[in-house]
Structure 1
């Protein structure tokens, strides 16, 4: 549901139906990397929306009942978009590969999202595949090993109970640095690659702290911060500026927008955690 909610506004803006179907028989609780799974599904949903002009995008999850012994969960993202020509399918998960010549001008960034989805699937010991018909749509299928919790487990701190941080940065490398730097601490990090995506994420989930890049296309960090402050529950959530411009004017504009602190890019891991830990509210 989080992956769907984060892209609901984009789908609505294009007039697309965005739906999710969880089939009966899927366990309510499974063991795994929830953050990686959300990120993986997010890449596939974003890709489907980008390449669908009309119709729908559907996320479907169910158990793989064809195998015996180990259990597997299947997640499918199906769209009614432009589809992929047969001769392009073999390289669709290669970094920066475009579906057809000239497509990058109308739909930038195809290859990166699918390449990341493939890498995330591998990290979770899963498999990813695609079936597509040019002009009729595509179905991306992810197959992941399912682990059920023990009947009487020693319950560790659940990721959902950890402080939740939203990292907003349009550079994928910068996002990776932020996520990995914070990964050693007991916090949960979600990512957004634009000001609009940050607002969509914040509208669907209450974060305890936001890391906001200032220089982003379409909607910059200052504009996104002003809009976020108007969302219910975000009147006083700490928002920390990420910027390479540390002038007095920028500092003052950040304060006027309601930002609590500043971090200079490139961000040093030790300085990042010092500022984050100082601004996270106790029990946050």
Structure 2
């Protein structure tokens, strides 16, 4: 009986997190998306107006990060995160992560340097998404807690006492530093050095706990060297397993890709269409699954972007109905475009015949990457 109650409580927590994630991500999609579009397309904005847009984007991004951290920690705690190693250049990945936070460092007048002490042209078997997540967490913290000076990121190959080679990543800053007596609890969930940290700098105190869990899953270790007022150096190691790089394939489109965008929310349709048109796509929209199936049956689309929660016919039912059509229309790749981001929700999308998933709030780079991957290909789920 106690086990049944615990399992029911676990299911209730998962359902609650999934529902709240969806409800928060949906309006965030419009806030972040339209702020980005305004900043990119409106040349007549005053400096003050552009600054206000940046503040909107920063605040929305902070909220999205907190939602992601809570979901990530829940998935890790439940053992639902799988590592997907592939051939990765650690130096390039570190440089890429540093470039993402470069503007934040520049806006604070901080220097940012990246160093690599590795053999040339050697890739390693790593999960790039999870490794980038740890690096961004540490880099963002370094910039956040540094008022002057700079941040230095490095990666080097080292040999442990057991003779095994490891990659050692180091993120050093000249910030506020951390007293030795509070360093042990930094990697615990919902924990920060003291209560004033969250008031002054924000955050839910989950980032380092997530980072430690991910590094441990990768077979490595993470730690910190710091003193109050003397900056901080976070480091972590992962096994250095050489891998052969796979050849990259990119689909070239001579004509504009035809995209069917399906979403019941008018604001989401407007935002998605604007992003796709800026990317050079020809866009047609549908406001529910029933309309999407009728339009898809006429054919001619290179890819379908499908929301999940819609009236009359939801995205899962619509995907199954499209897969049941006759001819080429049944083989068009369907990509979920949804605020449903829990692993079991993404798996339901794949079982319904969808080939990929792009989370809301939409990050344009992620959307374009998914389109490039699937445009010109037919789905094997038909």
**TM-score normalised according to structure 1 size:** 0.60
Q: Deviations over 1:77-127 (max 9, x none)?
A: 001111111211011101111112221012122621111110110011001
Which protein shows a greater Rg? Answer: 2
CA distance in 2, matches of 1:107, 1:131: 21
Match of 1:76 among 156, 163, 170: 170
Which structure 1 segments of 5+ residues have no match? Answer: 164-208, 210-219, 248-259
| 1:113 equivalenced with 2:210 (yes/no) | no
Q: 1:225 to 1:148 in 2, by over 3 A?
A: same
Q: 1:29 to 1:236 in 2, by over 3 A?
A: same
CA distance in 2, matches of 1:14, 1:242: 38
CA distance in 1, matches of 2:209, 2:187: 5
Counterpart in the other structure of 1:2: 96
Counterpart in the other structure of 2:107: 13
Q: Is the 8 A contact 1:47 1:110 kept in 2?
A: no
Report how far residue 67 of structure 1 moved: 3.8
CA distance in 1, matches of 2:211, 2:272: 29
Counterpart in the other structure of 1:269: 346
Counterpart in the other structure of 1:56: 150
Report how far residue 72 of structure 1 moved: 1.2
Counterpart in the other structure of 2:281: 236
Q: Deviations over 1:138-164 (max 9, x none)?
A: 001111111124xxx6x7x56x6599x
Q: Is the 8 A contact 1:26 1:63 kept in 2?
A: no
Q: Is the 8 A contact 1:240 1:263 kept in 2?
A: no
CA distance in 2, matches of 1:67, 1:110: 36
Q: 1:62 to 1:134 in 2, by over 3 A?
A: same
CA distance in 2, matches of 1:4, 1:139: 16
Report how far residue 269 of structure 1 moved: 2.6
- Aligned residue for 1:7, secondary structure, equals helix
Root-mean-square deviation (Å): 3.9
Q: 1:262 to 1:65 in 2, by over 3 A?
A: closer
1:70-149 to structure 2, matched below 5 A, reads 70-109=164-203, 111-149=205-243
Q: 1:26 to 1:141 in 2, by over 3 A?
A: farther
Counterpart in the other structure of 1:192: none
Report how far residue 32 of structure 1 moved: 2.3
Which structure 2 segments of 5+ residues have no match? Answer: 1-94, 252-258, 260-266, 283-302, 312-334, 358-370
* Aligned residue pairs, count: 210
CA distance in 1, matches of 2:109, 2:227: 22
**TM-score normalised according to structure 2 size:** 0.46
CA distance in 2, matches of 1:110, 1:117: 14
